[in-house]
Structure 1
Amino acid sequence: MKPISLTIEAFGPYRDSVTLDFSALQNHSMFLISGPTGAGKTSILDAMVYALYGEPSGEVRKIDAIRSDFAEPERMTRVDFSFAIGEAQYRVERLPKQLVAKKRGTGMREQNASATVYEMKDGEWKVIATSAAAIRDTVQRIIGFRKDQFLQVVLLPQGEFRKLLVASTSEREELLHTLFRTELYRKLQEALKASYDDAKAGIEANLTKQAALIQSIPHDEDTIVLTAQHVRELLANREPYRDGLVVKRDEAVAEVEQFNALRKEWAVYNQAQQSLTEAASKLDLVKAREGERSSLREKVQFLTSLTPTYELYKQFSDKQSALKTLETALSDTKKGVEIASQQESKCTEAHEVLASQAETIQANRTTLAQLQQQSEKFDELALLNKELTTLKSNLETQDREKSDAELQIQHKLVADLEFALVEARKQFQANSKDLEGIPRIQEQLSQLQRYSELLGQKQKLQHDIDGKDRSLAAIDESVKNSKVQLERLEHLMAEGRAFELVHLVVDNEPCPVCGSTEHPQLASKPELYPTKEEIEAARAVRDEAIQKQASEIGQKKTLVIRLHELDEEVKEQVSKLTSLIDGFSEDSFDSIQQDLLSQMEQLTALRSDTEQLSKTIATNEDKLSGAKETLAKLEMAHKELLESLHDLEIQLSSVQAKIDALSKILPTTDLDVWRKQIESLETEINAYDEQVEVCERNLEAAREQLNAKRGRLETLSAQVQEETNNLDIIYKEYIKSLQSISLCEDDFIETLGDYNALDTFRTELHALDEDFNKAQAVYDAALKVAESIVEPSATVSDEVYDAAVERRDALVGNLAAWEKETKHIETTLASLEELDVAMGEARNEVEFLSRLNDLANGGEQGFKNVTFERYVLGAILDEVVYAANLRLQKMSRSRYSLERSDYTGGGRGKQGLDLAVMDAFTGQSRPANTLSGGETFLASMALALGLADVIQSYAGGIHMDTMFIDEGFGTLDPDTLELAMETLVQLQSSGRLIGMISHVPELKTRIPAHLEVTRGDDGSTAKFVIN
């Protein structure tokens, strides 16, 4: 990440908008952020971290305290940060949750926090994230760090730069994992473990399957079946049993087949006899209906002979019905002619009445035309009357007295506002003079607060040192006890080993240990014989206690050094306060602070009143300006009112004259009367015209209907006469047909019912004939079959047959069950053999994967608690340590170097990424947290720079183009500071941008590029300066 620009407003000590353009550094890759204490140097770094992560950089600074106390209520706190990652450019704009002045009315309103991330595309900023979750993920993806990681490798905050140096293996692993993208190795670990788990689960599943297969094999209780070989033996022992079953089954099957053949002969014979009996019975039943069949045949023949006569009778009946229909229609038509004739007469009479009124209606038409010719005059009169009413209304609404009163009131308002504005400006000048003392009191209070904080830190530090003393006493006792325990166990082990050699000692022969031929006192068996593991455990307890003791001593030393530093800082602060506050002493601290707070409270209230007064002045100025504008408008409106009144009076006289002239021309000036006359005449004429039209239409329709009815009457009369003649002819032919068959008409009518059922009679006769022929044919065939079959000579009882079938079925079932069991056993045997082969291969695979998984995931076969990824990160950390030591050894004059702990430590915690410091003066390694403040700063800076070097050397890694260091140089002696500066100066050739905050004077002369922060009475400002 490389910063491009930073804009902050109402942020920390910065009231106004401050923009820092990092291109102003030109070719300088190192710059110093300088300025007085409390001016806002760290706030610049806070703004960058806040823009990226929504929180300040330090742990003690809170998000709700970043708004500037100098900012006006209407000014919004905001940060706008642009930076580059490689060739890509990004921008983050963020506003915190804050109280700001309402845009309308008075009071404050709460403004919610907001943020937006942009990316430069095609020369424009494009929004890529706005929600809180999306911004967090986007920034972490772009930068490559979380906030805590960013503060370990990019920005080293004041008092917190040692985090990376003293981090645990877990914390350092997470950071290196993020920096060097080692997900591949972690995925490989997980893949190996998953493969091992899957292979192991596969073996367990195969074992379960093998047990289930063996359990499914049927066998006697005395037979052991555990392996595939046992199953093969079981199959071989089953063959003799099968051979006996086959012989018995074949004999039973042959016996049943013999019985089936005999029973089939009897079945054929009995079936033939039964068929003959049934056929004879059916034939007898059919012959019993022979009389009924003959009678039905005669009836059908008789009715068939009546068919010609029936056809004539049907024609006569149809013609008779048609004639009756025509006669009815003729009667109805005659009545319709009479009605149509009456309607035609009525319409003719109504038409004559309307014709008699035609002259009166024509006179009305003439009168209506005359009235309509006066329409334009009446329209003109209506317009003039309307204009007259409007003019009178306008004249009434012009209130001259009201205009005079408004003008007088506005003059008074302007005078009052001018007087109030003069008084407010006098008061504002007086308040502003009193407020000039605020920065001085603020500085005094800030230094008093710093003094109080130093005393508190000193008290807490002394308490921590006392706690360390108590802790060291307990640890010393623990070291002493652990040493005594280890010595006791080692002594017991020596005695035990001596006792083990007793059996090798022979009288008058050299001892295998000391060589003496005399053995006056042989070793006895000790009561307790510790194991090697117990000795190692005791030694580990002792080493851990000693290491803890060394750690505590180092920590106490650091605390004591810090206490001495605080003493010096307190003395400096007392000196500063003595020169800043008259009469200051340590005893008068509380009273002076209380007095200053009281003064500050009064001035704060006065500042609030002054700010309100300033707003009041601005408001009154706006009101005065508006009042003057209103007054000018009212004077102009008053003048226009007088002119308008004169114009209206002239227009009113002109319109009245026109109305008087029209009144003389028109017969009446009442427009409603004129309109009612026209409406009455129009209604009467329209009603007459409609009656004439309807009457003529009805008369024409009546005449058309009368003519149609008369034509229909003539047609029906002719049809009735024709049908009557045709009916006489058919009736004569019908009577003649009856005579030909010797039947009177009444007898013929009685036969009509049977004739209509002739088809039914024919169907019944046909069915009787079919039944007779079929029954005779069936009987003849059954007789022929029965005569051809001979009765069998032997019989088989049902009991004998059923017993034979049962015996055969049982034998067939037993053989089938045996074959099914055998097939199942053979299939199971094949599965077991496949499983044996598969499990042999799987065991080899599990053993291989177990070793790989153990090695990759920090098991017993590899480096315990050191995973493959951690091993790779360890190699990377070695490179980081090597790069860091190139600078640390130079800055510490070859005394200190970092080293990575080996993998041989005990315990269950994660291992492999722990760091220690090798002290060349003692020749021993010790924990990094035992270094002094200055030594810790050098080691932390060297580690951060080494990490940046290694990150840059890895292709595709995170961009480490920038580093910020907040304080820390003040803990170095002049010689060490010189070495540190030489190291930093050498970095300029790498193109990496380094920003530092420090009060050390030497740095100001050594570094030409400065970001100067200046403190003012109304807030701080900042700008780049190149010396």
Structure 2
Amino acid sequence: MRLHRLRITAFGPFGTTQEIDFDDLSAAGLFLLHGPTGAGKTSVLDAVCYGLYGSVPGPRQGGGQGATLRSDHAQPAARTEVCLELTVAGRRLEVTRQPPWERPKKRGTGTTMEKAQSWLREYEAGGADGGGVWKDLSRSHQEIGEEITQLLGMSKEQFCQVVLLPQGDFARFLRADAEARGKLLGRLFDTRRFAAVEQRLAEQRRAAEARVREGDADLLADAHRMQQAAGADGAELPLPDGTPGDPGLADSVLAWAAVARAGARERLTIARSALAHAESGHATASAELDDVRELARLQRRFADAQERAARLDERADDHERLAARMEKARKAETVAPALALRADADDDHRRATADEARARAQLPATYADEGAAGLAGAARKASEELGGLASARRAEHRLSELTAQRADLDRQERADDELLQEAAGWLADWDTTRTRLRDGIEAAQEATTRTEHLAGRLKTDQEKLDAARRRDRLTQEAAAAQERLIAAREHASAAHERWLGLKEQRLADIAAELAAHLGDGAPCAVCGATEHPAPARKSAGHVDRATEEAALAAHQRADEARSAAERDLGTVRESLAAATAAASDTPADELAAAVEELRRAHAESRDLASGLHAAREALARAEREHDRRVAAQQEAARRVESRAAMRDALAGEQAGLEEELTRARGASASVAQRAAQLERQTALLTEAADAARAADESAQRLKDADARLADAAFRAGFDTPSAASAALLDAAGHRELQHRIDAWQNEQAAVRALLAEPDAAAAAQRPPASPAAADAAAEAAGRRLRAAGSACDAAARRSAELDRLSARSATAARRLAPLRETHDRVARLATLAAGTSADNERRMRLESYVLAARLEQVAAAATVRLRRMSSGRYTLVHSDDRTGRGRSGLGLHVVDAWTGRERDTATLSGGETFFASLALALGLADVVTDEAGGVRLDTLFIDEGFGSLDDQTLDEVLDVLDSLRERDRSVGIVSHVADLRRRVHAQLEVVKGRAGSVVRQRGEG
């Protein structure tokens, strides 16, 4: 990957467009990016990262929002943009990215949010003019990100570690523990899949363990069930000891089940033998009981038959009397039809006579002596008169309709009068209402315009108020910084004078210091003499080298503190000048009062403007109401005109109908009343005529029935019809009498049959039977049989239950065996991968093992450059030894060739730490590059750290960096060390100012 050009607009500290030509800078192979603190050196690297990945590195990324990346010095209409041109994988690309930002509205005041945008173009050689053309590839953020990541073969984190080499991170990496190193290496080499393997093995181990424990718990539950099924015998046989998950638990449970099952079968055999013996005794006692009961039954049967025969002899006279009564009832049955006919005729005659009397009672007295024919004729005459009233009824109904129509017309007329009066009243105020509503709309529109104007003024004044408050705060900070600078200068001057004084005093007594190293026979370092008759002696208050060097160090620290105080004061004064320029000299209290007044006026105007929509809606509703009332007024006027003609027509028709009805009503109040009178008279006459005819017919039928009844009674042998009626029996009486006769005859036949039975007669000759003793013996035998059967059934159930549970336990044990084997295998793998297994001697996790291999590669690649930087003194080595109780695999040591000893990297000095971390960063870049598929990195950046090197080490480091440009590779150094400006000729300077930072580029020449 090689960078060609970078264009930055309104990004970070750069308020205007800045262009950087990396081709010109890279021509020398090594170039310097320098500038004062806070100018924006790191922002150039942020722009490169943002152009490629759409976000900036580390804590500076701010979520990638345009509000964070946008320059505070940019003009409001300037769009934040980063455009990067580079070559990667043989393709020349141009990536342009614009983050989201708030721009001023094109119309009115305020701002609006613009969305983020991205473009990707590729340069294709061989265009129409032979110079090549740019071809658009994509404008999708996601597609561009996937394309860049695929071409580079690195994520953003890897790119920031291998291209933008942050030395501070690697210095911490050298001093970090194994866990911190693992996190960094894990992000760079993406070993999440190995951590996922560890987690997956742990999950499988827990799942397998849960299944095994569940199976063991089921086995123990079955064992408890078998103990309960065995009853008292199970209590004597203790369950095997063990908990779910213990090895050999299944075998223990199966062995215990076999013992319990054998005992249950033995007890079942004993119970079956006892049951057979009880069954034999019960059969013998039952047979004896049956014989005794049969003898007692025959004896009771014969005695009962003798008693029943005596009772039949006593009731013989009653039986003869009942037979005579039955014979008389059979003769009376021949007269029964004539009796029934006469009774029916008598009932009909009485009902007809009563109906006739009731009908005649409702007629006028003039019809009291009329017969059936006279009543029928009067009914026909009334019916004919009723038929003549049909036309008069229709006329009366039409007259009621006309009356209702005229009443309805009167109601409509009153409603239209009220509507016309209401419409006239409302329309009279229409002009005033419309004017009032339009004035409200105009007031709301004016308030809207005033609100937008006040919002702009409020924003400007609020910015001035914020600037004034910053100005006041920075004024106090500047005064405090000035005091700190004065104190630092005084302290630095005092430390400098003390160092010069101690140095001068030491030089004055240097002879005594040299004399302290003289010995007899040893040459003097000054004159070479071997005899030393009068060596100089140290005076009181002698200053040695350590004291002088301590004073020098104190002087240097004080001078650095003075420089830092000067920088702080300059920074505060720059911020104070910017705040003063923005807020002028107006006091903050006055600005706050003005802002508060503007905010109050803005709120009032905004509240008034919010009623614009409601005012427009009110005017629209009023106009619609006006149109509706005008239309209703016109429609009511039309109805009034048509109603007068209709009223005249109805009045003429009503007069004609009233004349016709006067003739038809006669003396009645209405035609309907007259018709009702005729209808009722016709009905009463008709009913009376029918009742008179029915009474005459029923009297004749009654006379005929009396003659037939007298004839039938005489032929049946009865003196009178009443005697025949008294001899009759109803159905219930006949059945009861016949039942009593049949019962006596059946009882007589049954007694004769019983007395003739030979078995009963023979039993009566034997001694009386005693079934109580035989019954007691049979009951005792039955109890013994039931007890034996219950015991046998219980033993059989226990044995069957134990067999069933044993079979289920055996099946569960067979099913659990492969699960336990799987659990053992997965558990061994999981503990081995997690570093907790006894087989893992160094307690190294799987992910740590992979990272250890990567760290070993990085240490080997870093050593190549570290030896050259340290003149062959230092070598980086990887260590997988355990530290304390922790795990091993990510140790990093340095071997000092001068002492031959291996020590921790945390013991390196500041300068040594810098070039060791630089070598580590370069080695890591080589390894990650190989991991990414060998993508060539033609442009590298190294950020800060050179100020901790002495001149010789700096030369060696620059030689190593200069070697990186072999094969057309360029290296950019980011530093503010002044000595580098003399050593590196190609430079990119970042200069800061009030309007923002700018870049100045100088090539090798």
TM-score by length of structure 1 reads 0.52
Distance 2:379 2:186 in 1: 115
Match runs of 1:384-533 below 5 Å: none
User: Tell me, what secondary structure is at the counterpart of 2:99?
Assistant: strand
Find the counterpart in structure 1 of residue 700 from structure 2: 736
Q: Once the two structures are superposed, what CA deviation does each residue of 1:934-965 show, in whole Å capped at 9, x if it has no partner?
A: 33223223323333333343369999998653
Report the Cα distance in structure 2 between the residues aligned to 1:789 and 1:995, rounded to whole angstroms.
142
Cα deviation for residue 915 of structure 1 reads: 1.3
Please list, as runs of the form range in 1=range in 2, the aligned pairs for 1:186-585 lying within 5 A after superposition.
Answer: 186-197=195-206, 216=227, 219=233, 232=258, 242-260=268-286, 301=337, 304-306=340-342, 309=345
Q: 2:147 matched to 1:172? A: no
| Change over 3 Å in CA distance of 1:174–1:598 after alignment to 2 | closer
CA distance in 2 between counterparts of 1:177 and 1:801 reads 93
C-alpha contact (below 8 Å) 1:347/1:699 kept by paired residues: no
Q: Please tell me whether residue 162 in structure 1 is matched to residue 171 in structure 2.
A: yes
Tell me how far apart the structure 2 counterparts of residues 778 and 264 of structure 1 sit (CA, whole Å): 31
Q: Deviations over 1:467-496 (max 9, x none)?
A: xxxxxxxxxxxxxxxxxxxxxxxxxxxxxx
Query: Quick check: 1:885 aligned with 2:849?
Result: no
Moved more, 171-180 or 677-686: 677-686
1:185 to 186, 191, 194: 194
CA pair 335-849 structure 1, distance change in 2 beyond 3 A = closer
The 1-side partners of 2:213 and 2:640 are apart by 114
Superposition TM-score, scaled by structure 2 size: 0.53
CA deviation profile, 1:249-276 (whole Å, cap 9, x unmatched): 1121233345556667888999999999
User: SS state of the match for residue 886, structure 2?
Assistant: coil
The Cα of 1:21 is off from its aligned counterpart by: 8.0
1:909 is paired with a residue of what secondary structure? coil
Q: How many Å separate the matches in 2 of 1:832 and 1:346?
A: 100
The C-alpha deviation readout for 1:489-518, integer Å capped at 9, x for no partner, is xxxxxxxxxxxxxxxxxxxxxxxxxxxxxx
For structure 2, which runs of at least 5 residues remain unmatched after alignment?
121-135, 144-148, 241-251, 364-375, 403-427, 436-470, 496-547, 595-636, 709-728, 764-768
Match in the other structure for 1:908: 885
What do residues 579-618 of structure 1 show as CA deviations (whole Å, max 9, x unaligned)? xxxxxxxxxx99x9999989996995465227999xx9xx
Residue 1024 of structure 1: how far off its partner (Å): 7.1
SS of equivalent to 2:33: strand
> Are 2:917 and 1:940 equivalent residues in the alignment?
yes
Check whether the contact 2:488–2:558 (CA below 8 A) recurs between aligned residues: no
* CA gap 1:986/1:75 in 2 versus in 1, 3 angstroms: same
2:978 is equivalent to residue 1014 of structure 1? no
SS in 2 for 1:804: helix
Aligned: 1:93 with 2:99: yes
1:35 aligns with 2:12: no
Task: Check the 8 A contact 2:215/2:816 in 1, yes or no.
Answer: yes
Could you say if the C-alpha distance between residues 769 and 954 of structure 1 is closer, same or farther in structure 2, counting changes exceeding 3 Å?
A: farther
How far apart in 2 are the matches of 1:678 and 1:244?
118
Mapped pair 1:801 → 2:815? no
Q: Superposition pairs for residues 586-625 of structure 1, below 5 Å?
A: 605=580, 608-609=583-584
**Which amino acid letter does the alignment assign opposite residue 932 of structure 1?**
S
Structure 1 residue 27: Cα displacement: 8.7
Distance 1:1011 1:989, change over 3 A: same
SS of structure 1 residue aligned to 2:835: coil
Q: Distance in 1 between matches of 2:349 and 2:36?
A: 142
Q: CA deviation at 1:867?
A: 1.0
User: Aligned letter for 1:608?
Assistant: A
Judge conservation of contact 2:48–2:84 (CA < 8 Å) in 1.
no
Corresponding position of 1:895: 873
CA contact (8 A) 2:264 2:798 kept: no
Aligned mates of 1:242, 1:608 — CA distance in 2: 109
CA distance in 2 between counterparts of 1:1008 and 1:998 reads 14
SS at match of 2:843: coil
Tell me, in whole angstroms, the C-alpha distance in 2 between the residues paired with 1:310 and 1:212: 95
1:862 aligns with 840
Secondary structure, counterpart of 2:844 in structure 1: coil
Q: Distance in 2 between matches of 1:763 and 1:958?
A: 125
Aligned to 2:796: 819
For residues 723-802 of structure 1, the aligned pairs below 5 Å read 729-742=693-706, 795=771, 797-802=774-779
Cα separation, 2, equivalents of 1:780 and 1:443: 149
Residues 25 and 31 in structure 2, CA contact (< 8 A), matched pair in contact too: no
CA contact (8 A) 2:988 2:1001 kept: yes
Contact 1:7 1:80 in 2 (8 A): yes
Q: Distance in 2 between matches of 1:247 and 1:184?
A: 72
Q: Does 1:852 align with 2:834?
A: no
Change (3 A) 1:802 1:993: farther
Counterpart of 2:372 in structure 1 is none
What is the rounded CA distance, in whole Å, between the counterparts of 2:392 and 2:177 in structure 1?
127
- Partners of 1:293 and 1:1024 in 2: how far apart? 156
Match of 2:652 in 1: 692
Q: How many residue pairs get matched?
A: 724
- Where 1:818 maps in the other structure, the secondary structure is helix
CA distance in 1, matches of 2:490, 2:49: 27
Cα separation, 2, equivalents of 1:5 and 1:450 = 43
Q: Secondary structure at the match of 1:1019?
A: coil
CA deviations on 1:49-93 (whole Å, 9 max, x unpaired) are 99847985499xxx9999978689x89998979999999989683
CA RMSD of aligned residues (A): 7.4
Give secondary structure in 1 for the equivalent of 2:894: strand
Deviation at 1:570, TM superposition (A): 6.5
- In the other structure, the counterpart of 1:465 is none
Structure 1, residues 157-191: CA drift from partner, whole Å, max 9, x if none?
57554123322211122233333333332233334
Residues 169 and 334 of structure 1, relative CA distance in 2, 3 Å threshold: farther
Q: Counterpart of 1:929?
A: 906
- Deviation at 1:970? 3.5
CA separation of 1:58 and 1:769: change in aligned 2, threshold 3 A: same
Q: Where does residue 399 of structure 1 map in the other structure?
A: none
Residue number among 964, 968, 971 corresponding to 2:948 in the alignment: 971
Deviation at 1:931, TM superposition (A): 2.3
In 2, Cα distance between equivalents of 1:317 and 1:23: 141
> For the residues of structure 2 that align with 1:986 and 1:767, how far apart are their CA atoms?
142
Aligned to 1:482: none
Aligned 8 A contact 2:296 2:770 in 1: no
Percent identical pairs in the alignment equals 23
For residues 964 and 810 of structure 1, do their structure 2 counterparts lie closer, same or farther at Cα, with a shift above 3 Å needed? farther
Provide the secondary structure at the position in 2 that maps to 1:897. strand
**C-alpha displacement at 1:914, in angstroms?**
2.0
Cα contact 1:865–1:911 (8 A) shared by 2: yes
Unaligned runs of 5+ in 1: 130-137, 352-385, 394-434, 460-559, 578-588, 620-676, 745-760
Q: Which residue of 2 aligns with 1:641?
A: none
Return 304-313 or 175-184, whichever deviates more: 304-313
Q: For 1:972 and 1:717, how far apart are their aligned partners in 2?
A: 144
Question: How big is the shift at 1:1014?
Answer: 2.5
Partner residue of 1:875 out of 853, 859, 883: 853
Distance change (3 Å), C-alpha of 1:963 and 1:799: farther
The 3 A distance-change label for structure 1 pair 702 and 998 is: farther
